[in-house]
Structure 1
Amino acid sequence: MNVGQHYWYGKVTGPIVQLPAGPFSFAIGGELRHESGKYAPDSVITSGDGDFDQAPTAGSFNVKEGYLEFKVPVLKDMFLAKDLSVDGAARYSDYSNFGSATTWNVSVAYAPTRDIRFRFNTGIGFRAPSITDLYAGEYEAANTVNDPCDVNVGLRRSNANAAANCNRVLSTAGLTPANFVQQQTQLYTYVGGNPRLQPETSRQLDLGTIITPRWIPDLSMTVDYYRIKIANHITAPDAQTILNSCYSSSGLSSSQCLLVGPRGGGQLSTVSAVNANSGFVNTDGLDFGLNYNLKLSRLGLPNWAGRLEFSNLDTLLLNYTEQLPDGEIRQDAGAIISTTTPQAFTRFKSTSSIAYVQPKWSFQWTVRYIGPSSNYVSPGQPADTSYGGSVGAIVYHDIVGSYALKVAGKHTVTLVAGIDNMFDRDPPFYYDGSTNSLTNSYDYLGRYYYFKAGIRF
């Protein structure tokens, strides 16, 4: 898809007045944007003679925006107030196709002493659908699905509404419901842009602290809590989710049934899974960080011995709640979500590294840990114990080294070589009938060697 943007903007920045704790600074500005997109497939595609059918699409919209930002230093170098400042911002946006919205953000940073700093941030956000979200050409894909009415693998086996709906639909088609088996696992699914999309809106909250104790030089520790709530979440619906939502509703009353094509001879024919606003996403979690640089001279070694650098970043996902198109609320945290492209919402991830650094060279070893996750099951249902229904923890090891040398007496050339996934760990197996693997977090290249060089003039 060809995407274009014309952009005009202006801004004024600078301090307004000098306060006892520092200058009161501000910025004010405005923007005008015109965004457009166009997709023109060749004649083979538009005639239906290619691998899939796709029609040409085009669209555009205009945006007018104005914003204001400020920073106010409140206290500085006082008792129990080494530093206190407030930052704020507000933006007004007017879209030709969505209407207007006002967003804002406020941040507070407070350091009672030089050893500890607290930070707080809250605000509301707004994300308009992109040109691709809106106008990407609709096309046919062949997604792998289980027919809810299949007597062997369908939803009818565990859902009373699905069983009743399948009995009625199949009997109307002149088939025997008790013997029905889908003939093909791949279903024509229409995917692509949707010009009727509405913007996402969000609320966020961040709380954190930074500890840098002066009695342990070069040590810093951070703890942060985040919470994000997104409404009108834009997503590409999954064909299986649409089918299950439709057939599990009483009398096929779900609005998702409007996206399911007629059954030809009793078999499923098509599903429309273009981009859609599908409820909300609520997530929160904790981030932990630690960095420490140890000069070996502190241990009694000579200055030329260099230093060790330690770092660690841990992420703990507490909650990831998602509302599905049919209104069902699903807890994704710790689960594998079997959509068209399966994803693992692992609760815990960690990256740790140790480096030995000399003035001219360095060597670093990094360990990446990804925790376990299990196939999602609805509340009240037994856990999925099938092969590939869960994945265990996995650990990757990476190494990298660098060397700097002088060239012609004044230029510095830095050589870097490394190996990612040093022990060639395979990604975890997950049976989804398509890729047999998960689409996020994991390493799919295997052992990867690289070398690069840079020069500073």
Structure 2
Amino acid sequence: MMRRSGIYRKRLLFLGISAFCYGWTTEANAQIISLPGTTTGKAITNKTSKKSDVTSKSNGKDEAITVVGTHLGAVETAEIQPVTVITSEQIQQSSSMTTGDVFAHIPSMGFSGNTYSNAGGSCLNIRSLGTARTLVLVDGHRMVNGNGAVDCPDVNSIVPAMIDRIEILKDGSSTTYGSDAIAGVVNIILKKNFTGTTLTANGGISEYGDDQTAALTAAHGFNFMHDRGNFTIAGSYNYQAPMAADQRKWAMQEAKVNNPPGQEQYYGSQYGAQPVYAALNGGAPLTPSSDGVAQSVISDGHGGYRPYKWSDNYDYSKDNQIIAEQQVGSLASTGHFDVNSNLQLYMTANYSHTHTVSAGTPMYIATPATTLTGNSGAMVVPAGEPGNPFGSDVALNQRMFGIGREYDYENIDYYQLTGGARGTLPHTGGWTYDFFFSYGKTTTSDKGTGRVNWRNMENALGFQQTGGAGSTEGYYDPNLCANTSGCAPYNPFTGSMSRAAANYIGFDDVYPSAQEMRDVQFTVANKHLARLPYGPLGIALGVEHRSLDGYWYSSWQDKAGLNSNQVRGDTGGGYNVTEVFGELSIPLLRNLPAAKALNAEVSGRFSNYNTFGQAYNWHAGLIYAPTDDIKFRVNIATGFRAPTIQDLYKSKIISLTGTRDPCAYISTYPGAVQGVMSDNCRAQGINPNTFKQTNGSLKYETGGNASLKPEISRTYTIGSILTPRFIPGLTATVDYFHTHITETIGYPSLSTELNGCYESTGLSSSYCSILNGRDVNGQLYPVARLHENTGAFIEDGLDINASYQVPIDYNNGLSFGADIQDIMSYKSQSQDGEALISYLSTDAGVPKWVANGTATFTHGPWSFTYMVRFIDGFTYYPSSSYGPTVSEWWKTNQAWYHDVMMTYHGDMYSVTAGVKNLAGRDPNFYANGDYNTSPGMYDYAGRYIYLKAQVHF
């Protein structure tokens, strides 16, 4: 083991030394990172490149500088924070179809995207700290959140052809932008001075002939009023074909690895086309076993029944999709006009429509979670049902093939308009200003087909419930269905479901949602406020007001608790915030022995929310260059994430969990607390010696909490920038980062709260506030699990980036590069007072090492690129805890991927062709993942071939 680990570290070291990032650096040494299959191109300075892509033109005017992480954009402090850059040329020469694809293989971006998502969107996740803790901007302005049910923007809404560059700040930046910038900031800079017309077509297909993608984009820009203004507009259409799970062997028979140590491995779902019958709680076993425990039974195919076995599980990969079908149409435009030398008007507009269709298995019926609405505690087939061979009421578990597969249809419309004015305040000694107003809205229309109406199912079975909520008491009423309007009978013992019964039992679930944002900001700045001994003092001051509103409406069936396994209401609400902020750029030393430069930056922000109140945040950074060859930087910053609309106002949802009712398992607790627990159970009318928990399931209620406080963070980064003059063409950055988040928003551990409650004398613990009493059978009513500020989170690690260019002659060149992330610790505390638990290299999906290495050879108009990608392995639990047939599933090996690409640059066109996953490697097994893997982490399509062409005129 030690030897293999050593070999692995040597491979990573070799990757970092010999395969430096194909990219190149800016004047400020912001690292340009590796993308799958890209070639070298032009450098970007602190001013937007005048060559936005391989053939675009500019009117030659310098546009306003937009630099992520600062309102000053001062050259002296531009390198204090770690920033990486992706250029439009890299995007054009990569396999990316959508803007979200651009981030898919960047080590520091975590593993998020639109894979296996009926929402069809792509949210960003810097350093795996969560999409809600990564702030996304367009030209320095916030994007409105995407799909109504999520708390993050959808970057697929942005037209890739409009992107001039993308800046990724991997540091806390709440003082510059406010809430959400805990992990970092992604700033998408759009083209401003584009002239001419560019057409792009690209497509790809897997070696199996599926996972087809196609995209068409067009961009046109022109100057007007003697080059005083520019207007650019672009549109795109993207199509993603669906990919069925049963087209990949590795996705069939999804393994279940959460079974206890030593137990047999099993697959799929218990709910299949064949009805499964089970004895109701307290009833006699349908098929007695040696230990007398009630069993589920299934037809033996000969008119009788036998015990249910794991081999009877249904393989739902036959119906599900690894990736959904999706169509995205987008429009974007930018414009600016110089009214005079002191005033420029500008605007940005973005619109997109996303249509996604995802298919799944037919809905199943089982023990419901909705007994508060009066539903029975199981789908009961009464003893009097014609053909019932058991002579007693039984519980029915079945996947409803008679109704048909579930389909989810989602339509998302996103639009955002930003307008503003900026310029110089005359006669003020260099003061500039920037005022903007931004309005964004996302509307979503969701429809799910193949849902099951629980009450109608009972009516079709003829079961007349007589007990209270949660009771399974009742009888067979042969006239119940006949006397109910629209009802058609269903008898699982006598044949298949009729179309009339399917129409009566099934329904379409419709639930619209929307999010809306208004943001207004005014900033003044002066880069030369005062002359200090070693340079000018810079200052920026500003005020911002932002409001957000949203709603998520549930169908009447959901509200009534008729949608099989949950009940939910409407969500709606909003909040607003007013903020003031300031920033200073301070030159401390310059051109001295052992001090080529020493510069500092400090900033602060005060926020006043109408929900939780006030927040204060600050940032301090220092950069020191002893020589021109090396620089050192250090940052410390506080940050926060304000509770979102979902956090605050999410409707109450009742669901099921496998958490145990303490009154049913007192004998498993330490003897010292059994007495107190027994007394507490008896006080609730429960005899702990005889009480049993129904089906081993517990109902719980989740929802928002209007009393939430913000998450609080503190981030440190310490790094260096190496540009040695004795190795021309080499640039490297190494940054250590540490983030500590407290007051994290989430759901507390249900088992911890229940145990803490019942172990307290007289149910006196504060944990007991989650209890809502018990039903007529003694089962707990849904316990409350509202959002709370529950715990903490700690992460630290290293970011390593390097690039090395080797010119051969005037017509040939080589470039190498690496982009490496090493997560040293990734720990979470689910509740105050609990220990921090490490989730690094576990089924949380955070590998210790992720790396990309690229080598590019250019020959005249040709370029050839090879890229290697590495994802570290996972070990979930010690293999000694499991038997030999199970332990193999509790680990995931390392993954290496190899990509190749070539590009030809003509005078007015370019053509790129490439292959991702050249070896056709299947994705690694990943415990508890979808389809036996993690489609967002590993290449799921196999070998993938793509072609892209662009022409400019």
TM interval, shorter chain, is: 0.7 to 0.9
User: 2:783, 2:864 → 1: CA distance?
Assistant: 53
**For residues 80-107 of structure 1, what are the alpha-carbon distances to aligned partners after superposition, in whole Å with 9 as ceiling and x for unaligned?**
1122111121111111111112211111
1:13-162 matched pairs, under 5 angstroms: 13-15=525-527, 16-51=529-564, 52-143=566-657, 145=658, 147=660
User: Residue 847 of structure 2 contacts residue 872 of structure 2 at CA under 8 Å; is this kept in 1?
Assistant: yes
**Residue 10 (structure 1) shift:** 0.7
Residue of 371, 375, 391 corresponding to 2:872: 371
Structure 1 residue 285: deviation in Å? 1.8
CA contact under 8 A between 2:708 and 2:788: conserved in structure 1?
A: yes
Find the residue that maps to 2:631 and give its secondary structure: strand
Amino acid aligned to 1:304: N
| 1:219-251: CA deviation from partner (whole Å, max 9, x where unpaired) | 2232221111111111244xxx31255326771
Residue 823 of structure 2 corresponds to: 317
The answer to whether the Cα contact below 8 Å between 2:662 and 2:754 also exists between their aligned partners in 1 is no
Secondary structure of 1:63's counterpart equals strand
AA aligned to 1:315 is Q
CA offsets 1:240-288 (integer angstroms, 9 cap, x no match): x312553267715664454366566466663444432112212222223
Deviation at 1:204, TM superposition (A): 1.3
Of 736, 743, 750 in structure 2, the residue corresponding to residue 225 of structure 1 is: 736
Listed as ranges, the matches of 1:289-300 within 5 Å are 289-295=801-807, 297=808
Matching of residues 280-429 of structure 1 within 5 Å: 280-295=792-807, 297=808, 302-307=809-814, 309-325=815-831, 327-336=833-842, 343-375=844-876, 386-387=886-887, 390-406=890-906, 411-420=908-917, 422-429=919-926
- Cα distance change on mapping 1:320 and 1:21 into 2, 3 Å: same
- Which of residues 762, 779, 788 in structure 2 aligns to 1:276? 788
Distance in 2, Cα, partners of 1:448 & 1:326: 47
Structure 1 counterpart SS, 2:541: strand
Structure 1 residue 30: Cα displacement: 0.5
Structure 1's 431 and 279: CA in aligned 2 closer, same or farther, altered over 3 A? closer
Q: For residue 78 of structure 1, report the CA deviation from its aligned partner.
A: 2.5
Tell me the amino acid that sits aligned with residue 741 of structure 2.
Answer: I
| Distance of 1:91 and 1:224 partners within structure 2 | 25
Determine the C-alpha separation between the residues in 2 that align with 1:303 and 1:174.
88
Is 1:343–1:438's contact at 8 Å kept on the other side of the alignment?
Answer: no
Contact 1:159 1:248 in 2 (8 A): no
Contact 2:587 2:598 in 1 (8 A): yes
CA–CA distance in structure 2, aligned partners of residues 5 and 86 of structure 1? 34
Deviation at 1:327, TM superposition (A): 2.5
Match of 1:339 in 2: none
Q: Equivalent residue for 1:234?
A: 745
Whole-Å Cα distance in 1 between the matches of residues 799 and 867 of structure 2? 18
Distance (whole Å) between structure 2 residues aligned to residue 242 and residue 221 of structure 1: 47
Change (3 A) 1:249 1:53: closer
How far did residue 3 of structure 1 move? Answer: 1.4
State the shift of 1:136 in Å: 3.1
In the superposition, the TM-score normalised over structure 1's length comes to 0.80
Distance 1:4 1:205, change over 3 A: same
Structure 2 CA distance for aligned equivalents of residues 260 and 425 of structure 1:
47
Please, which runs of 5 or more residues in structure 1 have no aligned partner? 337-341
| Corresponding position: 1:430 with 2:902 | no
SS at match of 2:640: strand
Q: CA RMSD, aligned part only?
A: 3.6
* Aligned residues of 1:334 and 1:346 also touching (Cα < 8 A): yes
Contact 1:321 1:329 in 2 (8 A): no
Displacement after TM superposition at 1:435 (Å): 6.5
Point out where structure 2 has 5 or more consecutive residues left out of the alignment: 1-512
Question: Which piece of structure 1 moves more, 441-450 or 72-81?
Answer: 441-450
Please give the alpha-carbon distance, in whole angstroms, between the structure 2 residues aligned to 1:401 and 1:427. Answer: 24
User: Identity over aligned residues, as a percent?
Assistant: 26
CA distance in 2, matches of 1:389, 1:455: 50
- Cα distance in 1, alignment partners of residues 867 and 694 from structure 2: 48
Query: Which residue in 1 is equivalent to 2:430?
Result: none
Go from structure 1 to structure 2 and tell me whether the alpha carbon gap of 1:91 and 1:175 turns closer, same or farther (over 3 Å shift): closer
1:422 to partner: Cα distance: 4.8
What letter corresponds to residue 56 of structure 1 in structure 2? D
Residues of 1 paired with 2:941 and 2:649: CA distance?
A: 33
Q: 2:919 and 2:648 mapped to 1: Cα distance?
A: 42
Shift of residue 199 of structure 1?
Answer: 0.5
Distance 1:263 1:435 in 2: 38
How do 1:200-211 and structure 2 match up within 5 A? Answer: 200-211=711-722
**Shift in Å at residue 412 of structure 1?**
3.1
Q: In 2 relative to 1, CA 416–67 (structure 1 residues): closer, same or farther, beyond 3 Å?
A: farther
- 1:76/1:82 contact within 8 Å kept: yes
Give me the whole-angstrom Cα distance separating, in 2, the residues matched to 1:443 and 1:157.
Answer: 44
* Letter matched to residue 817 of structure 2: S
2:655 and 2:942 mapped to 1: Cα distance? 29
Query: How far off is 1:200 after superposition?
Result: 0.9
Q: Find the aligned partners of 1:330 and 1:229 in 2 and give their Cα distance.
A: 12
DSSP-derived class of the 1:231 partner: strand
Between Structure 1 and Structure 2, whose CA radius of gyration is higher?
2
Contact 1:334 1:372 in 2 (8 A): no
Q: Which amino acid is 1:368 matched to?
A: R
Structure-1 separation of matches of 2:950 and 2:703? 42
